[in-house]
Amino acid sequence: GQQLNQSPQSMFIQEGEDVSMNCTSSSIFNTWLWYKQDPGEGPVLLIALYKAGELTSNGRLTAQFGITRKDSFLNISASIPSDVGIYFCAGQLGGSQGNLIFGKGTKLSVKP
């Protein structure tokens, strides 16, 4: 099946550091979505991107829809302990009517 490669798989950072994670594919995507999942809870939508090149911020979070439509990144600035969780990317393949494809997640740990 179609693959979404999300990296890194996990990150251990110090409070106050900036974080960057990304999702890449060999295929073109129509949309890119970024979710955060706290332990034992459902994923919560952080940012939705619908156009190539689009750069969108949500507080300390910034995400971009890659210009090639094959990738997206999520940056978190000045991390805080409550940023801990698993971050998922998801997207719909270009030219398809299919369901969202989800990355396997990036697990973020923040040391106070």
Contacting residues toward another protein, per CB under 8 A: 1, 30-31, 33, 35, 40-45, 48, 88, 90, 92, 96-100, 102-105
Which of 48/77 has CB closer to another protein?
48
Q: What's the token pair of residue 62? A: 């910034």
Min separation Cβ 46 and another protein, Å: 11
Which of 90/110 has CB closer to another protein?
90
Alpha carbon 53 to its chain's center: 15
- Could you tell me the CA-to-CA distances from 62 to 23, 55, 78, 96 in Å, in that order? 14, 7, 12, 27
Q: For residue 17, give the DSSP letter.
A: -
Which of 2/68 has CB closer to another protein?
2
